[in-house]
Structure 1
Amino acid sequence: MNEFRVTAQRSGGWWALEVEGPGLRRPAHTQARRLDQVEETVRDLLAVRFDVDVNDRTAPTWKITVVPALGEELAAEVARTREVRREAERLRADAVSHSREAARRLHEQGLPHRDIGVLLGVSHQAVSKLLAC
C-alpha cells in the first residue's frame, strides 16, 4: 500500500492541495471545494498521474492522509474536540450497556417499565428498547 500525505491549505473558497508520496518526484497539486471531497480528488489525480483506472479491482491501494493547515492553536483545538467527542461516544456506549443491565435486573424483580424508566431517568419506551436487546 502506498501512502500519500495531502496538505490542505485554504485559498479563497477552495482548499489548495499539495500531494506527496512514493512515485512523485515533487509534490503534485490540485484543489477541492470541501474537505470531504479531498480524498476522491486526490485519488483521481493519482490515477491520472500513474495511468491507473481507479475502478479496476487490480488498481493499487492508496492510503491518503489529509492534513489541513489550520495553524498550531486551531489544530490543537480541533484535535482536543475530536478527543472529547471520542470519549463522549465511549461514555454513551457505557451508559447504554449499564442501563441495559440495570433495566434487565429491575425487570427481573417485577418492576413495570414506567417505574424502571423513572429509576433510570429514561422513558418507558426506552426501557422497552433496552429490554428488547
Structure 2
Amino acid sequence: MDQVSRYKVIATPDEGYWCLKVPSIERATQARSIAEITPMAKDLIEIMTQDPRIEIDVDYDLPAEVAEAVELKRRAAELEQLAQGKQKAAAMALRDKGLTLRDIGKLLDISHQRAHQLIKAQ
C-alpha cells in the first residue's frame, strides 16, 4: 500500500479570494471560497509533485480579531457543555436541600420543567 503524503496549506483571505501557500513545495495558488481550498491545494500539489496520494492540513491565517472571535466561540461552546454536565448534580443537590423546581430553575437559569427533567433523568 502506498504511503499518503501530508502537506500543510496556509490559507489567507485576500481581496475576495483565498491565497493558498504550500511551504513544503514553495508554491501558491488561489481559491474563491473555503469549499475550493482543499481541491485547489490538492491540484497544485499533485501537479508539482506527481504524487496522487495527498492529504492536506489547512491552517487559516486570519486577522487577529477574527482568530480571537473564533477562539472565544470555541471556548464558550466548551464551557456550555461543561455547565450542562454539572446542571444535573446541581439540580439534585438543590432538590436534596428541599428547594422547589421553580427555585431550582431560577437559580440554574433554566425552566422549572428542565429542572424536573434533570432530577428525573437516570
- TM more than 0.5: yes
Residues 107-116 or 38-47, more deviating: 107-116
Structure 1: how far apart are the matches of 2:7 and 2:116?
47
1:103 to partner: Cα distance: 1.0
What's 1:14 paired with? 17
State the one-letter code of the partner of 2:58.
Answer: T
Residues 18-45 of structure 1: CA deviation (Å, up to 9, x unaligned): 3232xx3x4142x222234313431343
Residues 21-72 of structure 1: CA deviation (Å, up to 9, x unaligned): 2xx3x4142x2222343134313433444341xxxxxx34x3423343x5xx
**From 110, 114, 118, the counterpart of 1:122:** 110
Distance 1:125 1:42, change over 3 A: farther
Q: Which runs of 5+ in 2 are unaligned?
A: none
Count of matched residue positions in the alignment of Structure 1 and Structure 2: 116
Structure 2: how far apart are the matches of 1:39 and 1:128?
47
What's 1:105 paired with? 93
- Tell me if 1:82 matches 2:70: yes
- Tell me if 1:2 matches 2:6: yes
Distance 1:40 1:101, change over 3 A: farther
**Sequence identity (%):** 32
Q: Which structure features the higher share of helix residues?
A: 2
Structure 2: how far apart are the matches of 1:99 and 1:121?
10
1:110 to partner: Cα distance: 5.8
What's 1:56 paired with? none
RMSD: 3.0
State the one-letter code of the partner of 2:69.
Answer: T
Please give the TM-score of this superposition, normalised by the length of structure 2: 0.65
Contact between 1:7 and 1:19, CA under 8 Å: does it hold in 2? no
Contact between 2:19 and 2:28, CA under 8 Å: does it hold in 1? no
State the one-letter code of the partner of 2:27.
Answer: P
Q: Which runs of 5+ in 1 are unaligned?
A: 53-58
1:112 to partner: Cα distance: 5.0
- Tell me if 1:27 matches 2:20: no
Residues 63-96 of structure 1: CA deviation (Å, up to 9, x unaligned): 423343x5xxxx2222322332233223323322
